[in-house]
Structure 1
Amino acid sequence: MEGFLRFRSLKFVLPAFLLVGGAVTFGVASGNSDNSKATVPTTENAYVSQVAPARTHDSQTWLSVCPETCEGVARSERRAFLRFTVAGVPAGARDVRLDLDLYSARTTDTSVQVHKVTGSWSAKTLTWNRQPAFGDEVGSRDGFAAGQVGSIDVSSAFTGNGSYAFALTAAKGAQGVFQSTRAGAAQAPRLSVRWTDPSTPTTGALPFEMPSTAALRASEKKVYAHYFTPYPASLDNKEPNQDYYQRNYLDPAGESGKHAAYGGLLRDRPVPRAPLSGDWQLADMRREIRDATAAGVDGFTVDVLNTTGAHWSRLKTLIKAAESTDPGFTIVPMPDMTSLKDVTPAGLATAMADLASSASVRRLADGRVVISPFKAEQQTPQWWGQFITAMEKSHRIEVALVPVFLNFSANADKYASVSYGFSSWGNRSPNRQGNIRSDIAKAHSLGKIWMQPVAVQDERPNQGIYDEANNTENLRVSWDNTISGGADWVQLTTWNDYSEGTQFAPSANSGHTWVDISDYYLVRLKTGAWPAITRDTAYLTHRVQFAAARPTGGQTKLMTPRAGTNPPRDSVEVLTFLVAPATVNATIGGAGQSYQAAAGVQARLFPLAYGTNSASIARGAATVATVSSAHVVRKDFAAQDLGYRGTSSGRPDAG
């Protein structure tokens, strides 16, 4: 399959602000009503004071936390320590959530950070001079109400049953005073634990039961998602209606109007979220890793745009997030040779060796580190041989090179001697997926593994091009050919490149739609069997404007179909996953239409019309599922947007 170039121009992706750091607030949301619960009392708790470095406070009825100045005394910091013993959470439990509950004596505005303690301690001997070591933050909270319990989500600290010790610190604001166990059981600190029993069926979101993460990872077939560092979950940690995405990337007038000609840089964005305290970048990346893990993804192939600066820092943060969130989730460095074209083999080796110092970077069973350069043909096979040699001789790291080509057929034989496997960047239109099987066969004939790209769609306002994906057809055809062709690995292209409109990640426009549909095929790839459909589910996909319509907002550079893509079409697609045959009632642009749908997976098309779209699934007199799109098809619009929106009956609040 002949790939096409991702035109990387950093002037379009580098916002004008600096990275900042701090604490983290995050959680593992369940939504299930059958969670088991436990309340765990603290076994030990006390605080330490810098102003009295040798004094113990194990008999106090409070736990005091404050930054460098406490009660007007300069260079006086206080920290609190708590220990709990968690038991009874069954092996394989899902959606485990830990909440640290603190009763506030008089604190109202302190920002409290929670750290997991790594050293040993005893409340009776705990002093400022004899305090244990503790690690990165695992949770935080801004603001407490005096006389009430405030909860801090520390779910990321959970590693199974056992002893847990936490340290409380304050980053800013007034002194925090919480009640200790000496104040009585009603006001004592406690750890609230909730989980879903592993035998409990999952509910709601997907048409089938998703196998456990352990079962999916046991497969030799691997699925990675391409992570693009210019578009993390948030760029500046502000309220969504005024953050950098909204002000500068979605607004045609953003970034001093430099995107006005094409109606703004982006048409979609990551799911908006409220501002976080502390190290929000780390928190965001932990959440993205949890989202990807829940979708069965084994890891991220991360586009390495440079080896210094903001994007390099984000890559290092992403690796740190993988280390602390999910040790089984791996990172595959993907040096982007369109932006690293001037790097030397030795220089690239130094950068890749830096990344490879983390256990979260992907290694084969024999210890080789997987490096998968994008547009590998930018450099010769000899150049890549020098890179591999530099890794071995200078850094004692053996490399399994999996080059990603823009033109695989022209380069396969030439690069075979330096490669463990092959991949291509691929195409984004159904009529251009016919060579998938032959590409896989070619790679296998050369003794190489094949990493197949799978994509939803592609629209690039700043480049003036798009591919006709035919609603979900491109996604489904790509997966079908990938599975039948025997691909070894898959790369979802992409997780979050919003400038090319190729994102699988949960987004403002489509929620989890694309990754949810993809999961049906991912399970087949990894397990060898199609998952049984256990819930009637409908996915509704459509554009919000006709392909030939023109914007009214002054946009001068318009998107046209890429050469060779499917012809543009204007359709609403209802994609159903049914336990048994049913009647589907669709309302397209206000007009009702019905049809009989077969059991299993079936797509039905309707002509696009102005207005709203919805569908329901009925069996007998009962309506078993409904889906309504929040996206209105309009005649007049300010900016051209030819990306498909997606909505699911399993996640009615998303997309």
Structure 2
Amino acid sequence: MSRKYRTLMTAVTVFATLGGITVVPAQAVVATPVSVTSGTPTVPMSSRGSGDRGPKLLITDTEETAEQSDGPLPFTLADTAVLRASGKQVFAHYFTPYPLSLDNAAPANDYYARNYLKPEGESGKHSAYGGLLRDRPIGRDPISGDYALEDLKTEVKQAIAAGLDGFTVDILSVTSAHWTRVQNLIKAAEAVDPGFKIVLMPDTNGLASVDSATLATAMAKLAASKSVYRLDDNRLVISPFKAEGRTAAWWADWMETMETTHGIEVALVPVFLDFNKNASDFASISYGFSNWGSRNPAGNANLATNITTAHGMGKIWMQPVSVQDERPNQGIFDEAGNTENLRSSWKGAIDGKADWVQLTTWNDYSENTQFAPSVNAGWTYLDINAYYLTCYKLGCPEITKDVAYLTHRIQPVAAAPTYAQTKLMKLRSGSTTARDTVEVLSMLNAAGKVSVTIAGATQIYDAPAGVTAKTFPLKAGTVSATVARDSATVAEVVSPYPITDTPYVQDLHYRAVSSGR
């Protein structure tokens, strides 16, 4: 994966053209900006990325976290059957270390709260970087029965409600608790909706010591489920993460073992950290290609190049689409530019005509790349994503309801934490420049007047019908926005996350709120 610090006295927006909707940079603003259209769980130290890989606790009812209607959205989300019939697949990368609950305890004092969100958690092993995590799944009360399986059913329901076709599950082990979760995830999909597919993604980092025969046996066991993804010709899709962790020859031999020993023909869709370096070696054995991708707008500026290359080699392409990336334990972050990175990566997938999309990730909270409903963002990123997913599958939908989305960090990038952290996140080399901004992303069915209040100061601009993004300087205090038309308020959103110049720990994860929820 790859991932501005500037204090502005003007509002800016970002370029994005999609489905006839254009958002262009706003002009300089003085007072009123003018819009321009446009046991103890163990978690591996995640190493996925460009060379590798105490938030406020909000508790909601389990029902609310499990299901999403199209009511909160600015458009009517098509039925699941219609979305699936488009032929284009949208999967989300499921990371087994972070299920909804690790111990079935009340969220105020569960394993996440005690050990991952606090700097002193797990006997202080995460104190240098202020705690392992900055966000977590939305909490729930303890439940009876097989809570782990029930939680996975909930996540499958969440993903289906958001329009997704399935999960690509990161397989870190073939023996541990992570392996059990993989098997339970497949069982959960079977129970909820077998049409929701699980793509098997062996992780060559976690499986470095697993031999070919053992891996083949494990994958064959999983492949017995009707929820595991196969092509129409019955080939089993295997999409190894960091495929170059094993040679193309190794994978070719492994595929032969799958066929001769287990009677399973494989369609290999390798996910590379370095696509250009490895594509030619894997071409003869692969059905398609993908890469892990970038997590900042600069890194997602020319995505069509990879897609064109793959298509030119006769392969399908699975495009990574992402929100953001901040990794306290690795001391590194990407500048997502509020929702700019999300919109840019979707633009690349749509314009480049990617065959499949992988949301990276559903729930890797240690890298803060999650789309899943979380404490810091609720359903907001999935709601925004649903619009672009629809554009990708069916063409951009008609906006029938006014919705405004607010995104911002809770501290300036350069703010020093009051907690004695010895390891701070630094901007990843090659990333978009770090910035301190509040963004309003509006989806309106007619032009409206948007008022944005940051730290008590209000600015007003005219937003056209359609999709518009506008950013403002981040300042300590509270943030809210309203959309008015004909003197009536049609949308209102208040962020529950105050901005401070003196954060307790360094926390560069963007918060997100929707007026629709």
Aligned residue in 1 for 2:237 = 370
Aligned AA for 1:281? A
Cα distance in 1 for residues equivalent to 2:338 and 2:377: 12
Aligned residue in 2 for 1:112 = none
Matched, 1:285 2:124: no
Matched, 1:475 2:349: no
Displacement, 1:342? Answer: 2.4
| Structure 1 ranges of 4+ moved more than 4 A | 9-13, 26-31
Cα distance in 1 for residues equivalent to 2:184 and 2:103: 15
Aligned residue in 2 for 1:536 = 402
Displacement, 1:435? Answer: 3.0
Cα distance in 1 for residues equivalent to 2:162 and 2:476: 33
Aligned residue in 2 for 1:217 = 84
Contact in 2 for aligned 1:588/1:609 (Cα 8 Å)? yes
Contact in 1 for aligned 2:106/2:141 (Cα 8 Å)? yes
Displacement, 1:10? Answer: 4.6
SS in 1 for 2:390: helix
Contact in 2 for aligned 1:12/1:265 (Cα 8 Å)? no
Question: Which of the numbers 483, 488, 505 marks the counterpart of 1:617?
Answer: 483
Aligned residue in 1 for 2:308 = 441
Question: Which of the numbers 620, 629, 634 marks the counterpart of 2:495?
Answer: 629
Equivalences for residues 16-165 of structure 1 within 5 A = none
Cα distance in 1 for residues equivalent to 2:151 and 2:65: 18
Structure with higher helix content: 2
Percent identity between matched residues is 59
Relative contact order (C-alpha < 8 Å, sep 6+): which is higher?
Answer: 2
TM-score (norm 1): 0.70
Aligned residue in 2 for 1:572 = 438
Listed one character per residue, the Cα deviations across residues 84-137 of structure 1 (whole Å, up to 9, x for unaligned) are xxxxxxxxxx99xxxxxxxxxxxxxxxxxxxxxxxxxxxxxxxxxxxxxxxxxx
Matched, 1:258 2:125: yes
Contact in 1 for aligned 2:2/2:295 (Cα 8 Å)? no
1:631/1:27 Cα in 2 relative to 1: closer, same or farther (>3 Å)? Answer: closer
Aligned residue in 1 for 2:28 = none
Listed one character per residue, the Cα deviations across residues 59-101 of structure 1 (whole Å, up to 9, x for unaligned) are xxxxxxxxxxxxxxxxxxxxxxxxxxxxxxxxxxx99xxxxxx
Aligned residue in 1 for 2:351 = 484
Contact in 2 for aligned 1:4/1:406 (Cα 8 Å)? no
Aligned residue in 2 for 1:519 = 386
Question: Which of the numbers 285, 306, 311 marks the counterpart of 1:418?
Answer: 285
Mark the runs of 5 or more structure 2 residues left unpaired by the alignment: 4-41, 47-60
The number of residues matched between the two structures is 465
Displacement, 1:28? Answer: 6.0
Cα distance in 2 for residues equivalent to 1:30 and 1:263: 28
Larger radius of gyration: 1
SS in 2 for 1:462: helix
Give the superposed CA RMSD: 1.7
Aligned residue in 2 for 1:230 = 97
Aligned residue in 2 for 1:604 = 470
Listed one character per residue, the Cα deviations across residues 487-529 of structure 1 (whole Å, up to 9, x for unaligned) are 00000000000000000000001001111111111001111x1
Displacement, 1:417? Answer: 0.7
Matched, 1:508 2:375: yes
1:294/1:553 Cα in 2 relative to 1: closer, same or farther (>3 Å)? Answer: same
Aligned residue in 1 for 2:218 = 351
SS in 1 for 2:122: helix
Contact in 2 for aligned 1:295/1:515 (Cα 8 Å)? yes
Cα distance in 2 for residues equivalent to 1:234 and 1:29: 16
Cα distance in 2 for residues equivalent to 1:523 and 1:335: 29
Question: Which of the numbers 186, 190, 197 marks the counterpart of 1:330?
Answer: 197
Cα distance in 1 for residues equivalent to 2:277 and 2:45: 30
Cα distance in 1 for residues equivalent to 2:357 and 2:227: 19
Displacement, 1:343? Answer: 2.0
Matched, 1:273 2:155: no
Listed one character per residue, the Cα deviations across residues 177-198 of structure 1 (whole Å, up to 9, x for unaligned) are xxxxxxxxxxxxxxxxxxxxxx
Contact in 1 for aligned 2:152/2:188 (Cα 8 Å)? yes
SS in 1 for 2:275: coil
SS in 2 for 1:573: strand
Cα distance in 1 for residues equivalent to 2:343 and 2:443: 13
Cα distance in 2 for residues equivalent to 1:406 and 1:446: 19
SS in 2 for 1:616: strand
Equivalences for residues 168-183 of structure 1 within 5 A = none
Displacement, 1:453? Answer: 0.2
Listed one character per residue, the Cα deviations across residues 1-57 of structure 1 (whole Å, up to 9, x for unaligned) are xx559xxx95548xxxxxxxxxxxx986699xxxxxxxxxxxxxxxxxxxxxxxxxx
Displacement, 1:319? Answer: 0.6
Structure with higher strand content: 1
Cα distance in 2 for residues equivalent to 1:10 and 1:245: 12
Listed one character per residue, the Cα deviations across residues 376-407 of structure 1 (whole Å, up to 9, x for unaligned) are 00111110001100000000011000000000
Contact in 2 for aligned 1:233/1:284 (Cα 8 Å)? yes
Cα distance in 2 for residues equivalent to 1:203 and 1:619: 23
